[in-house]
Amino acid sequence: MSAITMVRQFGEVLLAIALAPLFVGWIAQCRAWLQSRTAPPLVQPYRMMRKLFQKDVALAANATPLFRITPYVLFGSMVLAAAIIPSIATDLPFARVADAIALIGIFATARVFQSLAAMDTGTAFGTMGARREMMVGFLAEPALLMVLFNAFLLSGSTALPSVVEAYSAGPLSINPSLTFAGVAFVMVLLAENARIPIDNPSTHLELTMIHEAMVLEYSARHLALIEWASSLKLFNYACIGFALFLPWGIATHGADGGWALLLAAAALIAKLVVFGAALALIESLSAKLRIFRAPEYLATAFLLAVLGLLVHLLLGS
Amino acid sequence: MLLLVLGWLFLGAIGLLRPHSLRFVARGLFPAGAVIGLGVALLGTVALLAGHAPQAMVLPLGLPSLPFHVRLDALSGFFLLLMGLAGAGISIFAAGYFRSGEGTAPGLLGLHYHIFLASMALVVLADDAYFFMVAWELMALSSYFLVVSQHRLPEIRRAGFLYLLMAHLGALCLLLSFGVLQGGRWQFTFDAMRGAPLTPLWATVAFLLALLGFGAKAGLVPLHGWLPEAHPAAPSPVSAMMSGLMLKTAVYGMLRITFDLLHVQFWQWGVLVLALGLFSAIYGAIFAGVKTDMKRLLAYSSIENIGLIFTGIGLAILFDACHLPLFAALALSAALLHSLNHAFFKSLLFLATGNVLHATKRRSLGALGGLAHTMPWVATMALVGTLAIAGLPPLNGFVSEWLLLQAFLFTPQIPHAFINMLVPLGAAVLALTVALAAYVMVKFYGIIFLGQPREPALEDAHDANWLERIGLAWLALGCIAIGVLPQIALRAAGAVTGLLLGQTVNFSSQLWWVAPITAKQASYSGLLLLAGIICVVGITFVVVRGLAHGRFRRTVPWDCGYPWQTSRMQDTAEGFGQPIRHIFGTAFDMERELPSPSDSAPHYRIHVEDRLWRMAYLPIERAVQRLSDAIGVLQGGRLAIYLLYSFLTLLALLVGVL
């Protein structure tokens, strides 16, 4: 393994770990602007985590070891996912470990651990959050799989680096099936990352929360790791979206020296800035759905992805 | 090879010498049975390595003109491997599990148990229809006696009867199927059947009869009615064997008849099996989501997993009929790997419920909770099983489901319009099923082992004894090993696909990678994934402890500051299943009793029933009842009338002859 490959691999992971909280901070800032509030500083998530790391953990008396290792498992699996997703370069030694479908599996592992940890202390809100999180999960997965099916039909691969390479080799064009799949993907992204319209990241209203209900019992460094992991999850989802739908700028195999990597990092940041603003706009324009409207919302995402599939098979493009 | 199988029978027989000595049977015979299990697994491995050179033998047993034939090839080798490995774990567990005074005497139980094991091995070794049916019936009867080992309870007798009924209806279909397969040449060896000329119509008839027969054994919806009744009724090691091993004999039979005895496939068969498999999978997953009895929940989860296996078989038939043998081999490998996986994780979970049952005497999830504190060993092993069955990387359940999804990706290449558009949607059903399975398993594990104990008696539940621990650990290790290095199992499956389809998928030359078709298309490595997670988690732990601190204090749970928390405020199993009842409401027959606002002692009750009971099973039962009532008119009970019948029959025969 050459030095530049190691730089690419570790650089990408460190970049993800560093940028993820900033990305969340950026979305919060945009939302505040759109809602005519004074925006918090961009580094607010970092300040939050620094404070949390200094505090003492208040652990529920009946918490099992599962409860205590879960924050580490969550953070670990998200960092691992960041190592697999080609966000700035495709020639990563670790990228072959899992293709996009296996990546969904890694996210599912994190979700199951988080739900189990939420049930561990045996509180009413924890179990409620776990149940709702698992519900959103099983509704979102078919839609996400159909999105990947679309990408597979166009590129002949479910491995993200190959998808990016296949797109980059062809001419710039907007594919009708990818348009449907892209909309479906954004809908799934919102649902999976506990954002409006399925969940509200800033709520503490007991009966509507999902993600917050699951992490109620966590405090201090555990909570900081969980928050960091969920910002990494959003970052990872965004990068999967970029790889599938906006692969331009990612340094491909053979053209990934130092300057190309810097350029790719700049392109990634530009995409994140635009995408974060767009997410904030979507979230500001929509209202949170009642929890039992979630199936309809995710069924819409699923149908859009299936439409993309049918469009591809009918047009043969 | 038969010596080993006979060894099981022998163990069963010597158990009868001292039928009431629990110590002798449990500490002596069951561990010996486990050793024989390992031997059988070794035998299977040898057969897999031998490749295309099957060993055949004619036994000097059976009827004068119909001797028993046995044959060991890669397909039977794979299933022997499965039975041996999982069976060894179950036998070791069983050695510590059975207590005195629980139903049947230990000696008799040991006899049935070992006959059951031996007959399953004979089913996959049999090489003629006659011997196959003998072994098949032996398996059905010995398992029936195991199911009703606590025969004093009326619901267990009822479950046993239903099981026996379905087993025999299935056996009848199989008998007819073999009757068609011999193709008018009246030779019942499988060798003769392979060469029997069958028109497409008769081949289809034989296939459909086999599907009915094996589907009834495997629990494919709508022939699943017996499964959620019989599995919970049996003692836990027996449930584990029935679900983990016996259902696989049906998978074996299906593969043997479809790919070996019938040499031509039609794509319509594939679509049928695929549709049935997907339907069973989603049906099982939904029902597992609303069930509140832990063993019944696992039984429905077995239906789901059998559905996944049959989905793979259906895809394989479809691809094979469309002359895409490589993809057929991929789908078949996924189905075989899932059979092996299911044998491990489902046995593990059934055994864990056995421990819970012994420690708490409760089967309803609503009465459990918080057992991770009192039964840490069982809880840890069950966690492995839970994560594996939920299809999560890096454990084994994920690999087979991932391969199945990969096989689905190639369905647009099927050269039939509409089929190539509809079948890809099956992948979405599959994804929904797998995600639902994760939901169900979070419910199963979270409600039994996590949270607060829902009843005070649970505080003094005891952990598994050491024999049980070995059994559980063996199966959990299997789940981890296959998940981390799936290539070992996939190469075994490759020998089978080579035999049945003449095509093997090369999953990669390196043992720790799995790449269906090409590495560029998709690849996965459980080993590196596990290593990566362990590394990152370790580094994070060290960094967090180094930069911050490790201080913590124990307090009461926060729960948004509610001061009066009781264990009754946690979700019940019913509550946890509520989203599924809400979303898939049309699938159920629900009876709900809601309290009125003025009730002084409010009571909430919900009863969810399988809709197919009312729509399929009960009408058939009523029709059979009416028919037998109608025939019953003939039985007047008077001798003179019966003599009249004989007279009329003779008269009719005379007229016929003349």
| B563, part of any domain | no
Using a 10 angstrom Cβ sphere, with 0-12 exposed, 13-18 middle and 19 or more buried, the burial of residue A315 is exposed
Are B421 and A122 inside 8 Å of each other by CB? no
Of B503, B520, B548, the residue at which a domain comes to its end is B548
Same domain? B364 vs B299: yes
Q: Give me the mean pLDDT over the B257-282 stretch.
A: 90
> Which of B436, B442, B517 is the best residue to mutate to test the A interface, defined by the most A CB atoms within 10 Å of its own CB?
B442
Are B532 and A94 inside 8 Å of each other by CB? yes
Taking contacts as CB-CB distances below 8 angstroms, the residues of chain A near B421 are: 309-310, 313
Q: Which range, of B238-247, B342-351, B484-493, B542-551, averages the lowest pLDDT?
A: B542-551
Query: What is residue B2's predicted lDDT score, i.e. its pLDDT?
Result: 67
Closest alpha carbon within chain A to B553: A58
Closest alpha carbon within chain B to A51: B548
Are B402 and A102 inside 8 Å of each other by CB? yes
> Which of A145, A147, A163, A219 is the best residue to mutate to test the B interface, defined by the most B CB atoms within 10 Å of its own CB?
A145
Q: What is the mean pLDDT of chain B?
A: 87
Beta bridge partners of B62: B67
Q: Give me the mean pLDDT over the B344-371 stretch.
A: 89
Higher pLDDT, A116 or B38: A116
| B276, part of any domain | yes
Q: Give me the mean pLDDT over the B176-195 stretch.
A: 86
CA nearest to B604, candidates B591, B617, B614: B591
Query: What is residue B100's predicted lDDT score, i.e. its pLDDT?
Result: 65
Sequence ranges of the domains in chain A: 3-315
- If phi > 0 it is left, if psi is from -120 to 50 it is alpha, else beta; for residue B508 that is left
Same domain? B296 vs B202: no
Tell me, what DSSP letter sits at residue A39? P
Query: What is residue A298's predicted lDDT score, i.e. its pLDDT?
Result: 92
Taking contacts as CB-CB distances below 8 angstroms, the residues of chain A near B547 are: 53
Q: Please check whether residue B434 touches A, CB under 8 A.
A: yes
Query: What is residue B370's predicted lDDT score, i.e. its pLDDT?
Result: 84
Report A:208-227 residues touching B (Cβ under 8 A).
216-217, 220-221, 225
The ipTM of this complex is 0.93
Number of Cβ atoms within 10 Å of the Cβ of B73: 25
A vs B, Cβ pairs < 8 A, gives: 248
Same domain? B426 vs B377: yes
Same domain? B631 vs B500: no
Pairwise CA distance, residues B385 & B246, whole Å: 19
Domain range holding B288?
Answer: 265-548
Same domain? B233 vs B306: no
Percent share of chain B, pLDDT over 90 = 38
Query: What is residue B438's predicted lDDT score, i.e. its pLDDT?
Result: 93
Same domain? B250 vs B282: no
Radius of gyration from C-alpha coordinates of chain B: 26
Using a 10 angstrom Cβ sphere, with 0-12 exposed, 13-18 middle and 19 or more buried, the burial of residue A203 is middle
| B14, part of any domain | yes
Q: Which residues contact A303 (CB under 8 A, 6 or more apart)?
A: none
CB of A109 within 8 A of CB of B393? yes
Same domain? B438 vs B462: yes
Q: Give me the mean pLDDT over the B208-227 stretch.
A: 90
Q: Please check whether residue B396 touches A, CB under 8 A.
A: no
Radius of gyration from C-alpha coordinates of chain A: 19
Query: What is residue B20's predicted lDDT score, i.e. its pLDDT?
Result: 67
Q: Answer yes or no: is pLDDT of B193 > 80.
A: yes
Q: Give me the mean pLDDT over the B192-208 stretch.
A: 88
Query: What is residue B208's predicted lDDT score, i.e. its pLDDT?
Result: 94
C-alpha dist (Å) from residue B166 to A267, B144, B418: 64, 11, 36
Pairwise CA distance, residues B412 & B322, whole Å: 12
| B28, part of any domain | yes
CB of B260 within 8 A of CB of B188? no
pLDDT along chain A (317 residues), means of 10: 78 91 93 91 91 89 90 94 89 86 92 93 87 90 89 86 81 76 93 85 74 87 92 94 86 76 89 94 88 89 90 76
Closest alpha carbon within chain B to A79: B536
Q: Give me the mean pLDDT over the B138-150 stretch.
A: 89
Q: Give me the mean pLDDT over the B279-287 stretch.
A: 93
Same domain? B364 vs B410: yes
CA atoms within 13 A on the CB side of B20: 1
Of B548, B565, B591, the residue at which a domain comes to its end is B548
Same domain? B201 vs B280: no
Query: What is residue A16's predicted lDDT score, i.e. its pLDDT?
Result: 92
Query: What is residue B273's predicted lDDT score, i.e. its pLDDT?
Result: 94
Are B398 and A105 inside 8 Å of each other by CB? yes
Measured in whole angstroms, the distance separating CA B277 from the mean position of its chain's CA atoms is 13
Q: Grade residue B101 by pLDDT with cuts at 50, 70 and 90.
A: low
Q: Which of A29-38, B185-194, B544-553 has the highest mean pLDDT?
A: A29-38
Beta bridge partners of B589: B609
Query: What is residue A3's predicted lDDT score, i.e. its pLDDT?
Result: 76
pTM of the model: 0.93
Rounded to 10 degrees, the C-alpha dihedral B313/B318/B319/B321 comes to 120
Beta bridge partners of B58: B69
Closest alpha carbon within chain A to B452: A122
Query: What is residue B511's predicted lDDT score, i.e. its pLDDT?
Result: 80
Q: Grade residue B415 by pLDDT with cuts at 50, 70 and 90.
A: confident
Q: Which residues contact B31 (CB under 8 A, 6 or more apart)?
A: B91, B92, B95, B467
Percent share of chain B, pLDDT over 70 = 97
Q: Answer yes or no: is pLDDT of B65 > 60.
A: yes
Same domain? B188 vs B323: no
Query: What is residue B51's predicted lDDT score, i.e. its pLDDT?
Result: 67
Of B524, B548, B572, the residue at which a domain comes to its end is B548
Alpha-carbon gap: A2 to the closest alpha carbon of chain B (Å): 19
Identify residue A125 by its one-letter amino acid code.
F
> Which of A96, A138, A146, A209 is the best residue to mutate to test the B interface, defined by the most B CB atoms within 10 Å of its own CB?
A138
Higher pLDDT, B264 or B81: B81
Alpha-carbon gap: B538 to the closest alpha carbon of chain A (Å): 8
Query: What is residue A293's predicted lDDT score, i.e. its pLDDT?
Result: 86
Q: Please check whether residue B525 touches A, CB under 8 A.
A: yes
Query: What is residue B15's predicted lDDT score, i.e. its pLDDT?
Result: 67
Same domain? B42 vs B8: yes
The domain tally of chain B equals 3
Ordered DSSP codes for B22-51: HHIIIIIIHHHHHHHHHHHHHHHHHHHHHT
CB of A16 within 8 A of CB of A235? yes
Q: Please check whether residue B578 touches A, CB under 8 A.
A: yes
- Residue B66's SS3 state is strand
Using a 10 angstrom Cβ sphere, with 0-12 exposed, 13-18 middle and 19 or more buried, the burial of residue B121 is buried
Are A80 and B529 inside 8 Å of each other by CB? yes
Q: Grade residue B571 by pLDDT with cuts at 50, 70 and 90.
A: confident
Are A145 and B428 inside 8 Å of each other by CB? yes
Pairwise CA distance, residues B352 & B361, whole Å: 13
Same domain? B245 vs B292: no
Q: Which residues contact A51 (CB under 8 A, 6 or more apart)?
A: none
Measured in whole angstroms, the distance separating CA B539 from the mean position of its chain's CA atoms is 40
